[in-house]
A and B are shown apart, each in its own frame.
Chain A
Amino acid sequence: MTDVAKAYGGVRALRGVSFDVHAGEVHALVGENGAGKSTLIAVVSGARQPDAGAIEIDGREVGVLDPVSSRALGIAVIHQHPALFPDLTVAENVALGAERGHPLRPIDWKERRARASALLQRLGARVDPDARVGDLGMAEQQLVEIARALGAHARVVFLDEPTAALPEEEAGRVLDVVRQLQRERCAVVYVSHRLEEVLAIADRVTVLRDGEVVATLDAKKTSRGEIVRLMVGRPLEDAYPRRTTAPGEVLLDVRGLSSADLGLRDVSISVRAGEIVGLFGLVGAGRTELARVLFGLEPADRAGVMLRGRPFDPRSPAEAIAAGIAYVPEDRPRHGVLLDMDVGTNIALAVQDRLARRGLIDGAREDALAERLVERLDIRTDSIRRLVRTLSGGNQQKVALARWLAAEPAVLVLDEPTQGIDVGARAEIYALLAELVENGLGVLAISSDLAEVMGLCDRVAVMQGGTVVAVRERGAVEREEILALALGHGVAGALHGA
């Protein structure tokens, strides 16, 4: 594609981007949120029409693309959240991309199933063709979607953050399949925030910033540092701020928490004032479940939780908040913020009773608080009346955090605080957390990003199979050990670390 430009209103999302990808090549596309990656994908998939520029396939210029013609030309886009039909089987989902039968011609179920399993096998994806897609894990769903694209004879495959929601070892399965696509002479455009992954899989890396191509690099000859520098446009100092204060009293003390329904058994963990405790583990290890119990969203059979020295067994988030716990959930676009309410209301809602005067909402006081927090957290919005939906992911996360700053909790539980957030906003969130912790907050941060856990946290607790298997101090542990513990190879890993 040459000189492609696209503007949304006054915002120029793409300013003359030129970009090419060859058959059998994996070309990675990286950039901060808002750099133009999504717009680029929208243009090639036909979801948006470019204002200028040309797109060529096999040296032939294609006209205006719409979703149907884009697909007919062999372009497939696979999004982070697979667009599959959860109630249909794997085979049916794969077939939907490939079959071009007459709507009234009876379906040949046997052939459909055979074709689906052939495609999956070709990709080396071990997925049962008769499984219901809704029962599959996220990684398997990604594989099904890739198989579907292949079945539709896709020759240019765009993968948009395919591994963002996956833990490391499952991401590996997706990467294997991407390599297989490459061997099949597909042209693969790979969009990801995970730079290690990009460097491992890509032949070339193109960095986008503010809607422009900053550089196209040979993946073999570049480094993480160089890419990050190009992405943010300035050298990024250590993303993880140094903290000096020693941890204080124990704020949250969990001893032997169990819940048969949630698969939690005998969980023990503590968080002190002034420290960040990381909670690492694979998906399904019970981390989010633990957070939900602590926040009163799920009941525990046996809680055994002390919060600020008092027994604590909340039965609703309202009770948990009153006792001094705040929770920023993982699925931010859906539950962390109210997308269709404005920034100011989102910030004020959690503390509206406290800010009210004689039982009435005090708009001026709420707005003053919101303005103050918007400034302090550097939330980029032109007004506190702007709907949260229109902000970028990083700014939405800051709104979620701002709300809890207003509530002044004792312990803040964060679930994947920087998932899907660009490098720049990430550093800002880390700095903010550091500042809060310096002021005596205790933070329990659930993260699947090992680098983040290692860099940000004072202590790392590893969960595996519904319980905390180990707690390690920062600096006294290696990546490999943490990963081994999370995978359940605890003994060997621990020996290796010691």
Chain B
Amino acid sequence: MYAALLALLAVAAPGFFTAGNLRDLVVGHAAMLVAATGMTLVILAGEIDVSIGSQLAVCGVLAGLAAKAGMPMPLVALAVVVAGAVLGGVNGALVAGLRIPSIVATLATMLVLRDGLRWATGGAWVQGLPQHFQWFGLSQRGGELAITAASLAVFGIVAWAARALPAGRAVYATGADAESAELLGLRPRRVTFWVFVGMGALSGLAALLGAVRFSEVQTNAGIGLEMAVIAVVVVGGASIRGGRGTLTGTLAGVVLLGTVGTALTFLQVSAYWERALQGAILIAAVAVERTSKRRVRAT
């Protein structure tokens, strides 16, 4: 189906395949890939995090303010990742420590962070950023390269770690059955906590990769991001109940859902259809997975 879409594009809108457009696509979705990488771990562990859009907005503003205060970019990067990790740690403590269901805990932090940010900034964008903020102070081409490289590197490391490290498998086991995992000598609550910390850190990184593309930081960034990212992970084949899924699947999900919007524009379909089509793809992906699973079980 995806191949058919690409073929259609090649014929009807050759402009889609120009180097410039593809580059825009990749750079525009780098932040999404980073966030989806974190979300894959969260979902594999059997949890969910709907606060990442708010985390991203907070971290983006922090990045802008830090840069304005004269902090050099490497330090800014470190600071937003740590800030994100701390925000994630709050989620982790609520879920693993107080045993609040993650959908509830992260819904609460999503609202608190979003409105807290609005209150703190008065809704004003962070403007007058120093030269070294946009594109990390590199040329646009260089900045785009840095963004792409950073997102792919993070994705690659996490994808490798999930398979190669005992900690990665502990995430799968926790999501498959936390109680059984505990009886095996794993520490599922610790796993859950750190997965949220990791998610927060990656939200921070995603905020940075998204923010440096512009000359100012929006305070309303990331609204709806959590749903888009969860959709990407599920389209990528991860089970929303945890324990099953791969990061390569998530990468495929980002590619699939990420290209749909732009493809529509190129096919001169109204952009209003983008979300609807993404929703349809989500249902189709899950339906295909479910029916194929049923067939396996019947035999």
Contact = CB atoms under 8 A, between A and B. Distances in A.
Contact of A352 (B169, B180, B298, B299): B169
Contacts, number: 72
A280 to B, nearest CB: 23
A216 interface: no
Q: Which of A297, A337, A340, A345 has the most CB of B within 10 A?
A: A340
A166 interface: no
A360 B243 CA distance: 20
Given A8-B298, A360-B164, A349 B173 contact: yes
A266 to B, nearest CB: 27
A352 B243 contact: no
Interface stretch (B33-41, B182-190, B257-265): B182-190
Contacts of B166: 352-353, 356, 359, 361
A360 B177 CA distance: 23
Given A334-B177, A340-B244, A361 B298 contact: no
Contact of A334 (B168, B179, B184, B186): B179
A54 interface: no
A101 interface: no
B180 A8 contact: no
The interface residues of chain A, by DSSP majority, are classed as mixed
Interface string A326-344: 0101000011111111000
B191 to A, nearest CB: 12
B185 A318 contact: yes
B165 interface: yes
A338 B169 contact: no
B185 A339 contact: no
A349 B184 contact: yes
A321 interface: yes
Contacts of A317: 182-185
Nearest to B182: A317
Interface string A347-379: 001101100100111000000000000000000
Contacts of B187: 316, 318
B25 interface: no
Interface string B139-178: 0000000000000000000000001111011001100110
A445 to B, nearest CB: 17
Nearest to A319: B185
Nearest to A339: B177
A350 B184 contact: yes
Q: Which of A327, A337, A352, A353 has the most CB of B within 10 A?
A: A352
A361 B180 contact: no
A403 B184 contact: yes
Contact of B165 (A320, A360, A403): A360
A9 interface: yes
B181 A359 contact: no
A360 B180 CA distance: 23
Contacts of B172: 341
A361 B170 CA distance: 11
A340 B243 contact: yes
A337 B182 contact: no
A360 B167 CA distance: 9
Interface residues of B, number: 23
Q: Which of B164, B181, B183 has the most CB of A within 10 A?
A: B183
Interface string B83-95: 0000000000000
B164 A361 contact: yes
B280 to A, nearest CB: 28
Nearest to B161: A360
Interface in A267-317: 295, 297, 316-317
Interface in A389-408: 403, 407
Nearest to B160: A360
Contact of B176 (A316, A322, A338, A403): A338
A350 B173 contact: no
Q: Which of B172, B182, B184 has the most CB of A within 10 A?
A: B184
Interface string B275-299: 0000000000000000000000011
Contacts of A334: 177, 179-180
Contacts of A359: 165-166
A336 B164 contact: no
A335 B184 CA distance: 9
Nearest to B244: A340
Contact of A338 (B163, B164, B181, B298): B181
B150 to A, nearest CB: 24
Contacts of A340: 176-177, 243-244
Q: Which of B169, B179, B185, B298 has the most CB of A within 10 A?
A: B185
A321 B185 CA distance: 6
B299 A318 contact: no
A435 B178 CA distance: 31
B173 A338 contact: yes
Contact of B180 (A320, A322, A337): A337
B184 to A, nearest CB: 5
A387 to B, nearest CB: 10
A329 B186 contact: no
A345 B169 contact: yes
A337 B180 CA distance: 6
A239 to B, nearest CB: 28
Nearest to B163: A361
Contacts of B182: 297, 316-317
B179 A327 contact: no
Contacts of A320: 185
Contacts of B183: 295, 297, 317, 327, 329, 335-336
Contacts of A349: 169, 173, 181, 184, 186
30 contacts: A8-B299, A9-B299, A297-B182, A317-B183, A318-B186, A321-B185, A322-B185, A334-B179, A334-B180, A335-B177, A335-B179, A335-B180, A335-B183, A336-B180, A336-B183, A337-B180, A338-B173, A338-B176, A338-B181, A339-B176, A340-B177, A340-B244, A341-B173, A341-B176, A349-B173, A349-B184, A361-B164, A361-B165, A403-B184, A407-B185
Interface of A: 8-9, 295, 297, 316-318, 320-322, 327, 329, 334-341, 345, 349-350, 352-353, 356, 359-361, 403, 407
Given A295-B183, A317-B184, 20 more contacts: A8-B298, A297-B183, A317-B183, A321-B185, A322-B185, A334-B177, A336-B183, A337-B180, A338-B177, A338-B180, A338-B184, A339-B177, A341-B173, A345-B169, A349-B169, A349-B181, A352-B166, A361-B165, A361-B166, A407-B185
